[in-house]
Structure 1
């Protein structure tokens, strides 16, 4: 019987060690031995131009699911945007806080602040694979967003639709890692197939990375005055636990 995804990922000592040092190597290893390299150095760096262009598209209050070491949360916080990162890894949440970004140690499938009132949800760096069931993840994100809210997801660089059990390992022989957990690799065509009940809001490639924007269906637009104030209220409570918000949209 496999370990729950949140417990297995959080207990993956190689992941915590990589975040502390800011470098790999680090891999997701399938049961058949296939390895997916993880881009630790990029994740631990500041937001790059491709990241910043994605963040320019965000609307309202932003929830970064699987925020990792927090480069996107920190960038949005520096812009004065209402934002919260969530991650099951204590090391990731701590790193995000050191960058000045608000974050909670929480799984996306657990109760979260501001449910149904987020303007944008981010699933970056392959996080569309969380839980190994893209359809279930999309359904959960739809419940987190306000009516007409925006999901921005980074998809795999190839046309793939794959579910597997994986471990986080820090060597090519895969001898070091935590428990196994379900994960998915999803390309753009596959994600669009799973996105029943969503409206397509864009797809693009930048810096060799691929992205899809989807809009939840509902009466709101995701940017109107009817949904944004509750978003701000929900995020402020999370921010105050780590850093008082700067003057600007949050205040």
Structure 2
């Protein structure tokens, strides 16, 4: 991604992820000075809550991660907060999302805890929860909070808005075509994939990249018509 942005002469641009998730690439580009601003958008209220808290109240996350118990009882409590998706307290929801990401198998939010509920696995619930390491990563991100914009909108709307700006690079990585319901609170239906294809086709001259899982490409190849052709 860094090389693509350099080759396009877009160093210092605004980097946009309309379906953010972890935003690993974007934040790396921001911290290393390749881009000036990162727009983190996700319609999933839990994902948005986490990034909104990173941007506005990183010290809350740092304080909580240093003190929170790492056991199944706490895991169940944080999962209840996550499933409720109550956006009236964004920091609380954001931390629950963070907690599950770090304590669940493969970081899948709707999955189970590392080591299982009985904690008999080879690795336990604290295997990926390095308190000081995570606190330092959050501290570094807090230094760039003025350059992070966290929103919770339909990704198509975000693409439409930012594709019109010359100094913007869009990385569209939408939810998986298959198994999306088990991975996200806000999964994609077929019509959502089609809407995304249409909007990207309509801004084909803008600066964007699209990535998909293999199942999405296979499904698209079986559809009749042009609506998905440009997106793959």
* TM-score interval, normalised by the smaller of the two chains: 0.3 to 0.5
Normalised by the length of structure 2, the TM-score is: 0.33
Normalised by the length of structure 1, the TM-score is: 0.31
Larger Rg over CA atoms = 2
Q: Which structure carries more helix by proportion?
A: 2
